[in-house]
Chains A and B, each alone.
Chain A
Amino acid sequence: MTKNLRVKSSEYIDETNRISFKFNGKTYHGFKGDTLASALLANNVHLVGRSFKYHRPRGIMTSGSEEPNAIVQINPGTNRTEPNVRATEVEIYEGLEASSQNCWPSVEFDIGGINNFLSPFLPAGFYYKTFMWPASFWEKYEFFIRHSAGLGKSPTSSDPDIYDHRNVHCDVLVIGAGISGILAAKNAAKNNFKTLLVDEKNELGGSTIYENNEFNKIDNITSSEWLKKEIEEIKGIKNLEIKTRTSVAAYHQYNYLLARENLTDHLETNDKTNKIRQRLLKIRAKKVILATGALERPLIFNNNDRPGIMLSSAVKKYSEFYGVACGSKNVFFANNDSAYESALSLYNKGINVDAIIDIRDQSESKIVKKVEEAGIKIYWSHTIVDTAGYKRLKSVSIMKLSNDGTSVTGSKISISCDCLGVAGGWTPAVHLYTQSGSKLKFDEEKQIFLPNQNTSNQISVGSCSGDFKIDQIIKNLNQKLKDTLNIKETDLDNIKVEIDQENSKRNIWLLPSDKHLGKTKPFVDYQNDATAKDIKLALREGFRSIEHVKRYTTTGMGTDQGKLGNMHALGIIADTAGVKMGELGTTTFRPPYTPLTFGTIVGRNVGKFFDIFRRTPMNDWHIENKAEFENVGQWKRAWYYPINGETMHQAVQRESKAARESAGILDASTLGKIDIQGSDASEFLNRVYTNAWSKLAIGKCRYGLMLNEDGMVYDDGVTTRLGENHYIMTTTTGGAANVLGKLEDYLQTEWPELDVYLTSVTDHYATASLCGPNSKKILKKIIPDLDLSDENFPHMTFKEANIGHIQCRIMRISFTGEHSYEINVQASYGKDLWEKCMEAGQEFNITPYGTETMHLLRAEKGFIIVGQDTDGTMTPIDLQMDWIVSKKKYDFIGKRSLYRSDTMREDRKQLVGLLTDDPNIVLEEGAQIVSELNKSPIEMLGHVTSSYFSPNLNKSIALAVVRGGKDMMGKKLFVPMENRNINVTVANPVFYDSTNERLNA
């Protein structure tokens, strides 16, 4: 049955370049310039897929991005495979493979086709209604529904292609390179506007370019010939950039648009390698000219979905542009003159046209006369009441339409045909226009939604603004260009346009059949199998809002977003509910206009570029010494250093003991560091920390707790006074950026009178924290001339010193409870410093420890970690840190909130220590804490925030927040787990060295 339907050479098809490709495993041939759809049609293949719900055979319906049916899987089984690709947009290349979707075992014989016969039992909302009960069964239902739902298959291995993002700035962006877009771009660029012209197709010229209509003439030649000359001209204009295969996906506010530029999809597989496949253009345009054209509407009649039923404009494009006859017995079905243009186009190419069925009672236009002269039979005032043919259209049945258009009369005539071109009028493509936030209005006469209120600097020109005739298009375009570009003359002023087109149209949203509606299948949304019947059912069931009807019936929710049928859905709702279309409004058009691949969306931000990460200057040393890393904010921090195959637990136990018994070293470079200078620096610290700062002597360090205005702990850290007006503040690793932001906010907005300057110096310094009883000896070896005596350099003080020529800032501060020093050097010396410490510490068995050991050591001391032991609901009082809240200071951030009735409640959750009765059981962090086990429901008192096995105490320890915990010291509580209840006792959160002897040792 394979036959070649290539009828006449086309200048857009290179017949010297024959291309073979596979569809559903079978090899076909096409030519360079073909789309998958045109090549299949040339091979007389109409059946390309199955519909979503009823698995009805479906064919190619359109020639563009609005295609609802011909969606295929490209290169199945490869890592480049892509589902849901419109065959009408795929340019064929040697070796291309494609297959049908949504059918099993094959598109020719699909088991799911049984749904078509069950369709009376599968009304709108079938799944919602049927799988509701019993609720507990949903998981079981879902398993099966998921298997039968979904279109296409995603690739199972990673995408080999490269994707890119680019920012583009232009004065004028023109979307659509049809006649309006070409002329708009030309005039903008010639008037010195930096102009970008984009079109989703690979050829410029839109539909005018293959029009070949002898009645449409510009300057005495056909509009298509004239446009070709214009296109040649604009290719040479500087200021004008033209991007084809570029589809605008989204039009956001302030003329910010996203477009996908397709660079390699049309190339052979070998030529795709190492090239950018698709580029996302992030366009910021001063002005946007929308020339997005119009989409032809189908007509809604019984069984209007069979393979072979197409849009009349598509039939014309396949014949004129691709040189392909879509059928050998062609019939058209029309409510306006467009079908006559298509019929004539076919006739002129020697393709057989048997009849035109027109629901109007007449038309006076020349083109209709011409069709009559060609001997093509026209059935005026007739409508199609049914069609026949399962996998390919075989015939249509027509009947006379009543005057009011709601019923049919007379006898049925059957016309045999294998292709039906349907012309239901034109819908302006206003999708992008409305995405921008602009508003539409309904034109009752033309029965279309038109641009009305622009919100950004934009205009709509050509058929997307409701101008369908070339003379009208050029006249209005000319004026709009002058207005928007503020120019006096254009080269459109003097062109002569002759046309013969009639706008006469008879609009009937749902055409009647001789059968009852309930027995018919007039599809409105082809992809999702929503019929006019479903929409009416939704209305009967009480749905009124168009948005609700859409979701209930799934009309317009396919990958095509209802580009073809949405208007009919609105029309049917309006007619049925007796409201005006304009009052009903449209559903929201959301981005993307056509689907984007994930690759395009993420661009280069994949793999290691998925998120930024930061490394300390000592990072290479950690890697060389086999550290395991953990992410802390954006930082990669050394977590623990396993040796000889240790587990994390074993490593951490060893590191923790070493730090307490001899010496440990931690890379603390990630702590946030903010340099604070200015004559009001002390006053500023007084206002942002809970404790007092004015009296802190130069060279001293102090721990500070920072609250939010709501009184909750926000951050903590040690701040050192370097000079009279100079401090260095440290913050938590994860909180650094937010703390700086908060401090800047207060300085700029609440206290602009303060003379304070903040500089983030986190990355400028590398920090090694040397800790343990031997830390002093090690530091002495490194800096022999620094007096480390407790008199000269006591706990919580600061010294400047040199290690060779490296300047250091050394703070004797401790987060472990051990005698320790934090040595800060310029970042570039970080690794050097670290290696010096390791070398000097060798005789003391200095042990590098990671964040896990740090957490364990501080937990032994009961030091909190903001964000682990606090969660934005803990006040300093809740943390039993009343000592740090100044009673004398008049004000500081969060002070007033500490006296709110809620923050003063006695039964707030408070930080306590927890000891398990069995010292070997380590609680799970996050585990719930209760006081009674036999009550139901059990009241939750709190949860475990930190929990470790302490090698230094040889028992399990935990910090927890417990309601009223302050007064529960010694109380027995329970931590119920899945398989057992753990008995715990509330304890002092300082488990180790509660008198701080080791700090000062």
Chain B
Amino acid sequence: MFLINCPYCGERDQQEFKAGGEAHIERPKQPTELSDDEWAEYLFMRKNIKGVQFERWNHAHGCRKWFNMVRDTSNDEIKAIYKMGEKPPSQ
């Protein structure tokens, strides 16, 4: 059970949060311009890395804010947490 440092509320138990999949996948601004393949890339393709992964999390049972997390999926170490819109930390 992770201890997650919500950037708005501080450390809270994992059960207050909801995981939201891979981070930094921006919704295309002009979807109609995209080919089926390009749209499918946005819509369906997600990485599932063993190692350092960038993820979206939501403090669903708290402030309800979304934020980003860098997590090593091999040992669940949370390496960084930062707000939506902020640049990911350089590796």
Contacts and interface: CB of A to CB of B under 8 A. Distances in A.
Interface in A252-269: 252-256
17 contacts: A252-B1, A253-B2, A253-B76, A256-B3, A256-B13, A437-B76, A710-B43, A745-B20, A745-B66, A748-B65, A748-B84, A749-B84, A891-B31, A895-B32, A896-B32, A900-B39, A901-B36
Given A741-B58, A749-B56, A896-B31, A284 B64 contact: no
Contacts of A891: 30-32
A897 B39 contact: yes
Nearest to A900: B36
Interface in B34-57: 34, 36, 39-40, 43, 56
A744 interface: yes
A709 interface: yes
Nearest to B67: A748
Contacts of A807: none
A709 B46 CA distance: 15
A749 B1 CA distance: 26
Nearest to B1: A256
Contacts of B43: 709-710, 897
B85 interface: yes
Contact of B85 (A455, A744, A752, A901): A752
Contacts of A133: none
Contacts of A109: none
A922 to B, nearest CB: 40
B27 interface: yes
Given A710-B43, A750-B27, 14 more contacts: A256-B1, A256-B3, A455-B77, A745-B58, A745-B66, A749-B56, A752-B85, A891-B32, A895-B31, A895-B32, A896-B28, A896-B34, A900-B39, A900-B40
A750 B84 CA distance: 10
Interface string A856-898: 0000000000000000000000000000000000110001110
Which 8 pairs of residues, A with B, have the shortest CB-CB distance? A896-B31, A256-B1, A254-B3, A748-B66, A750-B27, A252-B1, A253-B76, A896-B39
Contacts of B26: 750
B69 to A, nearest CB: 13
Size range of the chain A interface in the assembly: 20 to 34
B80 interface: no
A254 B32 contact: no
Interface centre among A709, A741, A896, A897 (most CB of B within 10 A): A896
Nearest to B31: A896
A284 B85 contact: no
B39 A744 contact: no
Contacts of B39: 896-897, 900
B75 interface: yes
Contacts of B56: 749
Contacts of A750: 26-27
A708 to B, nearest CB: 10
A284 B66 contact: no
B19 to A, nearest CB: 12
Contacts of A741: 18, 58, 60
Given A748-B66, A752-B85, A253 B1 contact: yes
Contacts of A897: 39, 43
A749 B31 CA distance: 17
A254 B40 CA distance: 37
A744 B65 CA distance: 8
A19 B80 CA distance: 59
Interface in B65-85: 65-66, 75-77, 84-85
Most A C-beta atoms less than 10 A away, residue of B56, B60, B64: B64
Nearest to B38: A896
B84 A254 contact: no
Contacts of B66: 744-745, 748-749
Contacts of B2: 253-254
Contacts of A900: 36, 39-40
Contacts of A252: 1
Contacts of A745: 20, 58, 66
Given A284-B13, A750-B27, A890 B32 contact: yes
A611 B74 CA distance: 33
Given A745-B58, A748-B84, A437 B3 contact: no
Contacts of B18: 741
Contacts of A254: 1-3
Contacts of A744: 64, 66
Contacts of A709: 27, 43
B75 A437 contact: yes
Q: Which of B1, B32, B77 has the most A CB atoms < 10 Å from its CB?
A: B1
Contacts of B40: 900
A395 to B, nearest CB: 53
B46 to A, nearest CB: 13
Nearest to B66: A748
Interface in A159-214: none
Interface string A718-750: 000000000000000000000001001100111
B3 A284 contact: yes
A759 to B, nearest CB: 11
A756 to B, nearest CB: 14
Contacts of B36: 900-901
Nearest to A891: B31
B75 A455 contact: yes
Contacts of B58: 741, 745
Nearest to B33: A896
B29 to A, nearest CB: 9
A888 to B, nearest CB: 12
A741 B32 CA distance: 26
Most B C-beta atoms less than 10 A away, residue of A255, A741, A901: A741
Contacts of A437: 75-76
B13 to A, nearest CB: 7
A750 B25 CA distance: 10
A300 to B, nearest CB: 35
Nearest to A752: B85
Nearest to B23: A749
Nearest to B32: A896
Interface string A836-867: 00000000000000000000000000000000
B41 to A, nearest CB: 12
A710 B27 CA distance: 12
Interface-central residue, B3, B56, B65, by most chain A CB under 10 Å = B3
A561 to B, nearest CB: 22
Contacts of A896: 28, 31-32, 34, 39
Interface string A228-262: 00000000000000000000000011111000000
Nearest to A710: B43
A887 to B, nearest CB: 12
A716 to B, nearest CB: 22
A942 B32 CA distance: 31
A256 B14 CA distance: 10
Contacts of B65: 748
Contacts of A748: 65-66, 84
Interface in A885-938: 890-891, 895-897, 899-901
Nearest to A760: B64
Given A253-B76, A455-B77, A752 B31 contact: no
B37 to A, nearest CB: 10
Nearest to A746: B27
A748 B26 CA distance: 12
Nearest to A895: B31
A658 to B, nearest CB: 42
A896 B3 CA distance: 38
Contacts of B77: 455
A253 B75 CA distance: 9
A284 B36 CA distance: 48
A786 to B, nearest CB: 38
Contacts of B75: 437, 455
A452 to B, nearest CB: 14
B82 to A, nearest CB: 13
A897 B36 CA distance: 9
